[in-house]
Structure 1
């Protein structure tokens, strides 16, 4: 069982959160915490839902109104989802790099643009002259 498994009936979730079941129903109507529903339409709360209910109680005790709390929870949920997506992408990238070590993925073009390369190919070289100017300080003196 993980933190997202809907395991608690409303009475148990209310007790764990230190709230009245009617408060949980109100928060569900307002969209603050949305538990999953069984086939009989009864609410089932996960441990994550209970933690959010506790957070709502703490924020409310600090003087925030329910609309402000909803905005905070929405942003926290978005951060959680994005963090999870970043982990997925990092894992996929690491797997790709491990399965094809030394493979070139891209190169820089003449104007600094990114050029995709196929495996085993090299970027085209030119015989153009490139002018490089060293960094010049404000007093027009070259750095030492």
Structure 2
């Protein structure tokens, strides 16, 4: 738990997202959210709130059922992992290109 992280109890999350506590408990049972616990008390982070807000939008605004939400969340996680891998590959390619350019520049100036 980071120093700058904010934490919320279930009552505050319910007020912020305008949902019933049973809805949050259901989403936890379904595996959509995994709040931390301190002495059996659910503790939610900003990241949890963002994820819950996404799930609520899917179910209430778009009428997605729980099975659909599960699929969408898993696909979203895979896409995030793929994006991280692509960013790492781009950093590698950028570094390789930079090194090649530096070698060619050095070689060019060594001619003089």
TM-score normalised according to structure 1 size: 0.56
How well do the aligned residues superpose, as a CA RMSD in angstroms?
2.4
* Gapped regions of structure 2 (runs ≥ 5): 104-112
TM-score (norm 2): 0.68
What are the equivalent positions in structure 2 for 1:44-83 lying under 5 Å apart? 44-61=43-60, 62-83=62-83
Distance 1:38 1:83, change over 3 A: same
In the TM superposition, 1:1-144 aligns within 5 A as 5=5, 7-35=7-35, 37-38=36-37, 40-61=39-60, 62-98=62-98, 100-102=99-101
Shift in alpha-carbon separation, 1:8–1:70, aligned structure 2, 3 A: same
Separation in 2, partners of 1:27, 1:12: 16
Unaligned runs of 5+ in 1: 104-144
Higher RCO structure (Cα 8 Å, ≥6 apart): 2
Q: Which of the pair has more CA radius of gyration?
A: 1
CA deviations over 1:67-87 (Å, ceiling 9, x no partner):
111111111121112212211
Count of residue pairs the alignment pairs up? 98
